[in-house]
Structure 1
Amino acid sequence: MTTRLRTDRLLLRGWREADLAPWAAMNADPEVRAYFPGVLTPEQSEASATCFQADLEGRGWGWWAVEVRDTGEFIGFAGLDPVDEGMPFTGVEAGWRLSRTAWGHGYATEAARAVLAHGFERLALPEILAVTAAGNLRSRAVMHRLGMTRDPAEDFDDPTVPAGPLRASVVYRLRAADHPRVLDRPPGPL
């Protein structure tokens, strides 16, 4: 069974067939993909959602679909994933991406807090990191709100991104010892 995470306003859950169209629309939006090398085709979006669901089923955590609890609206994803091979660091990365209609409501921070709590309190991770393009000030602001810190010595050029302004990347980290305990309920699926 795929673990689900709940916050006051959000549900982080497994992927559904109904998520594919809004996920594809999100990935076709140049503003949503402004800090990525390009937009995705519907086929690429579907393939990514299929991989995300397989990871959730296989290990119980990964990139969850995010929906607004009051409306059931799919608004994007948030989660944890091992850092890709070939990066100049290792560990588990937290991440999020939301549709433009979900921006400005605090959803990214709320979802990320749930993800961090799960990573530290359920998975016993010693540290979680987050990576973004240096110019992605929105995501960097979320990282700051989460209490993550950046060491400029870790800034790097992402080898998975073509040469250009999106290649310069930053790494933020949060150690378990610096994360406040937020989950008061016993371990187990929600």
Structure 2
Amino acid sequence: MQSTLKRLHLRPVIALDAARLFEIYGDPATNTFNPAGPYPDIHHAKMVLARWISHWELNGFGNWAISLRDTPEKTLGFGGLSISHFADISINNLGYRFATEAWGNGLATEFSQYAIKHGFDHIKLAEISAVVRKNHLVSQKVLTKAGLRYVREILDVQNAPPSLLFTLTREEWNNKSTKITNAR
């Protein structure tokens, strides 16, 4: 399943994405707010990619390779919806990470809004959440623009301070969508 948005092109991840995944997730700049730090090597990226591909096969949804519509062959980031387990909960997690050259263009917001719509309209999820570090204000702003709201702190990385859990239910999303449609 490939999707084209206003500016973005999405396709499910494939094994050949390993090198680009490592470039983006292995970059210290893209891990500024990640207490686990950058991916240590290409082997780690391949293991993560194998988990992502397996998630697609088991659940029918997962992470996409994200590129611009005009240059679908150049992956700028990865993101999607996945079932994630933390110490005390399981969530339908919205996650994304873009290469530094893609920052500051509103691509994360466009992607997040699409992923949420896809999650509620096509996958029929009851709730979508995201986990973000307390000091990552830019990502918090993206999540808020996409309609998620802060719920509580969550322990997501062992031996690290808690992160913030943002959530949106399908009912909340439907109510917001109805208000937007009626305002037009």
State the TM-score, normalized to the length of structure 1.
0.83
Q: Which residue of 1 aligns with 2:51?
A: 51
Kept in 2: contact 1:27–1:39 (CA 8 A): yes
- Within 2, Cα distance between the matches of 1:105 and 1:67? 13
- Over residues 58-117 of structure 1, what are the superposed CA-to-partner deviations in whole Å (9 max), with x where a residue is unaligned? 322011111111012101111111121x43233311111111111111111111111111
- Within 1, Cα distance between the matches of 2:76 and 2:154? 30
- Within 2, Cα distance between the matches of 1:23 and 1:83? 19
Kept in 1: contact 2:12–2:62 (CA 8 A): no
- Within 1, Cα distance between the matches of 2:61 and 2:170? 18
In structure 2, relative to structure 1, the CA distance for the partners of 1:128 and 1:17 (3 Å cut) is: closer
Across the two proteins, how many residue pairs are aligned to each other? 172
Q: Which runs of 5+ in 1 are unaligned?
A: 182-190
- Within 1, Cα distance between the matches of 2:43 and 2:90? 29
Opposite residue 25 of structure 2, the aligned amino acid is N
Q: Which residue of 2 aligns with 1:74?
A: 75
* TM superposition outliers: structure 1 runs of 4+ over 3 Å: none
- Report the aligned-residue RMSD: 1.7
Q: Which residue of 2 aligns with 1:163?
A: 159
Kept in 2: contact 1:12–1:78 (CA 8 A): no
DSSP-derived class of the 1:38 partner:
coil
- Over residues 157-190 of structure 1, what are the superposed CA-to-partner deviations in whole Å (9 max), with x where a residue is unaligned? 32xx2424xx320001111122227xxxxxxxxx
- Over residues 107-159 of structure 1, what are the superposed CA-to-partner deviations in whole Å (9 max), with x where a residue is unaligned? 111111111111101111121111111111121111111111113xx21332x
- Within 1, Cα distance between the matches of 2:14 and 2:80? 16
DSSP-derived class of the 1:119 partner:
helix
Q: Which runs of 5+ in 2 are unaligned?
A: 179-184
The structure where helix makes up a greater share of residues is: 2
Q: Which residue of 2 aligns with 1:122?
A: 122
Q: Which residue of 1 aligns with 2:97?
A: 97
The structure where strand makes up a greater share of residues is: 2
State the TM-score, normalized to the length of structure 2.
0.85
